[in-house]
Chain A
Amino acid sequence: MNFLFRYANPHEFMRLSGAVLPFTAVATVLCLAVGLYLGFSAPPDYQQGRTVLILFIHVPAATMAMGVYGAIAVCSVLSLVWRHPLSDTAARAAAPLGALFTALGLITGSLWGKPMWGTYWVWDARLTSFLLLLFLYIGYMALWNAVEDEARAARAAAILALVGAVNIPVIKFSVNWWNTLHQGESIVSGQLAPVFLTPLLLMMAGYGLLFLTLWMVRIRTAILERRARNLMQAGTP
């Protein structure tokens, strides 16, 4: 806990993120570049043909979509329970990124579904709960924007994020019980050949590093914006 609170100070965060950013940025570009190169070089998959390329952009996006919501949930707990000052800012900064990953996951998944399973969409557990995740993100961002007082908005959004976090497993579970069209669909059943696994892992790392990089920049931006606002208020007595 102390470790987290040491960087709760905006100055400390600016310092730390400033030091780390060049590395994450470079690592992002490297992972994505190598991942894409290997992906394009890979032979067509026995079952999927060249559509396996979509796997390399779909799985990272979907994973990030859920991971970012998890990060927001953790920040929300830190904000509500421990009153960690930066966590509100961090949660709000992460949301648009998470929503984007969710949208990308939906689009790429749909474009993958048509050649693979013959349909752009199906109402099974995974897809439905993923779509609802997008709505949760939108509602979360809308609440932040709707409440005028920032401190209140932060706490309201935190509560909403946690209620949504409780509901995500419920949604997954409830749709699971539903009729599933593609029951035997085990996309990445863990038996991915190395020639495909390596680019996938690289792309996942790349997406994750991209998120971290952009997240840090967004938090830094928010800190600067708050300083600017404080200056403006101080200058108008």
Chain B
Amino acid sequence: MRDIRLAARSGGSAALALSFFALVATLVPLGVGADLKLLARVAGGILWVAAVLAALLSLDRLFQGDFEDGSLDLIALSPLPLELTALAKIIAHWLSTGLPLTLLSPLLAVLFNLPPPATLILFVSLLIGTPAVSAVGAIGASLTLSLKRGGLILPLIILPLLAPAVIFGAGAVSLALDGLAAQNALGLLAAFSFAAVLLSPFAAAASVRLNLGG
């Protein structure tokens, strides 16, 4: 619960993620050119990648704050299972990144000339998929929490693991753009997200323990 309150207070990080997301969504058309059909084609992939990267921005702080001031040791010793704490942090992170990003996405889809049905699928795919980003991100964050200059290694570790989410999510948008049914893609994305959120607290807790205990 404390983490959710913290997340609410860290509206700052949400603003950062949203700004990054919007900035990328602006830069890509500038780089790619104003061909509207092309933009619609790449919208799913670009916006998905941008969302993942934006969510990454605040990940390294996920455990580090508590680690540095020693409260992580206390949390680990408390009767509350560490896995639950990890899950709480994942949810808090999603509330401050994935969810706002999802809410902003229809607006950005306009920049890419994405038609409404595809925009809807984009929205749904981000809604379903961004929890996976937070979950897998938590694994990376917990593995690297003791690193001072851990900066770049965190994306290096978790981006390959997030490939299925990007594949399914962006793939769903492409299908919708072609007028095809996207249920299968969304279903697979949901399965991936579900498995990620279910399993990653265990991996994250194990990593926290190893970093605390040594």
> B85 to nearest A CB, angstroms?
17
A151 to B213, CA, bound (A): 11
Interface of A, secondary structure class, is: helix
Assess the A156–B143 pair: CB atoms within 8 A. yes
Interface locus among A35-43, A46-54, A59-67, A162-170? A162-170
Partner among A132, A147, A156, A175 whose Cβ is within 8 Å of the Cβ of B160: A132
Partner among A142, A147, A171, A174 whose Cβ is within 8 Å of the Cβ of B146: A147
Residues of A within 8 A of B156 (CB): 135, 138-139, 142
Assess the B160–A139 pair: CB atoms within 8 A. yes
Partner among B163, B185, B199, B214 whose Cβ is within 8 Å of the Cβ of A132: B163
Q: A149-B214, A156-B207 are in contact. Are A143 and B184 (CB under 8 A)?
A: no
Residues of B within 8 A of A132 (CB): 160, 163
A135 to B188, CA, bound (A): 23
Assess the B160–A167 pair: CB atoms within 8 A. yes
A222 within 8 Å of B (CB atoms): no
What is the number of contacts between chain A and chain B, taking CB atoms within 8 Å?
A: 76
Residues of A within 8 A of B157 (CB): 139, 142-143, 160
Which one of A138, A152, A167, A174 has the greatest number of beta carbons of chain B within 10 Å? A174
B203 within 8 Å of A (CB atoms): yes
Tally of B interface residues using CB under 8 Å: 28
Give 1 or 0 for each of B142-163: 1 = CB within 8 Å of chain A CB.
0110110010010011011101
A143 to B214, CA, bound (A): 15
Q: A139-B160, A146-B147, A170-B192 are in contact. Are A159 and B206 (CB under 8 A)?
A: yes
Assess the A174–B192 pair: CB atoms within 8 A. yes
A3 within 8 Å of B (CB atoms): no
Quick one: closest A residue to B162, CB to CB? A167
Which one of B161, B185, B211 has the greatest number of beta carbons of chain A within 10 Å? B161
> B29 to nearest A CB, angstroms?
23
For chain A, residues 44 to 86, give those with C-beta under 8 angstroms from any C-beta of chain B: none
Which one of B143, B146, B188, B199 has the greatest number of beta carbons of chain A within 10 Å? B143
Residues of A within 8 A of B171 (CB): 177-178
Residues of A within 8 A of B100 (CB): none
Residues of B within 8 A of A151 (CB): 214
A136 within 8 Å of B (CB atoms): yes
Assess the B164–A170 pair: CB atoms within 8 A. yes
Assess the A135–B210 pair: CB atoms within 8 A. no
Assess the A152–B210 pair: CB atoms within 8 A. yes
B167 within 8 Å of A (CB atoms): yes
Quick one: closest A residue to B184, CB to CB? A177
Beyond contacts A174-B188, A177-B168, A177-B188: 16 other A-B pairs, Cβ-Cβ < 8 A, are A132-B160, A135-B156, A142-B156, A142-B157, A143-B144, A146-B147, A156-B143, A159-B203, A159-B206, A159-B207, A159-B210, A167-B164, A170-B192, A174-B168, A177-B171, A177-B185
Pairs A–B under 8 Å by Cβ, sample size 19: A132-B160, A132-B163, A138-B156, A139-B153, A143-B157, A146-B153, A147-B146, A160-B143, A163-B139, A164-B160, A164-B161, A166-B199, A167-B160, A167-B161, A170-B164, A174-B192, A175-B167, A177-B184, A177-B188
- Please list the residues of chain A having a beta carbon within 8 angstroms of any beta carbon in chain B: 128, 132, 135-136, 138-139, 142-143, 146-147, 149, 151-152, 155-156, 159-160, 163-164, 166-167, 170-171, 174-175, 177-178
